[in-house]
Amino acid sequence: MREDLLTSILAELNGTSADIEACAVLSTDGLMIASLLPQGLDPDRVGAMGAAMLSLGDRTAAELSRGDLEQVMIKGDRGYVLMTHAGADAVLSVLATPQAKLGLIFLDAKRAADQISTLLSPVPSTVAAFPG
């Protein structure tokens, strides 16, 4: 059920731009939670690399006094990889084409990350306090 909802969020994100080629939700320790990846990309490898990059980004931002990490972006000659936190324990990774309009993709990825964070957040338990 939860995986279906995550896949739905990813499908909606993919549909926002023809420049988004793939996206995935990973745990911060590198396990694939849900994905829409093209053939030939190993989900386990994508998960491990994404978690490693975000962890390194977190540490770099902290060590260089840049505050809390918002995103990691990698630019290659065949496109972009964007990673952003989606709650405390998840990462949203987006693959985009070289001609992608990054401002729109950042906005759409942030929106999707917020939805993912909400979905993966533990439901707070309510404990009634009775006066003694």
Residue 22 clears pLDDT 90, i.e. is over it:
yes
CA gap 46, 104 in Å, rounded: 23
- What does the pLDDT read at residue 53? 92
CATH number of 2-120: 3.30.450.30
- What does the pLDDT read at residue 10? 96
Q: What is the pLDDT of residues 67-100, one digit of tens each?
A: 999 899 999 999 999 999 999 899 999 999 999 9
Helix (H, G, I), strand (E, B) or coil at 6: helix
Residue 125 clears pLDDT 60, i.e. is over it:
no
Helix (H, G, I), strand (E, B) or coil at 4: helix
Q: What is the pLDDT of residues 103-117, one digit of tens each?
A: 999 999 999 999 999
Every domain of the chain and the residues it spans: 2-120
CA gap 20, 22 in Å, rounded: 6
* Average pLDDT of the residues in 49-77: 93
* Average pLDDT of the residues in 108-127: 84
pTM to 2 decimal places: 0.87
Nearest to 87 by CA among 69, 107, 62, 114: 114
Residue type, 6: L
CA gap 10, 17 in Å, rounded: 12
What tokens were used for 76? 């290659």
CA gap 8, 99 in Å, rounded: 25
Mean pLDDT of the chain: 90
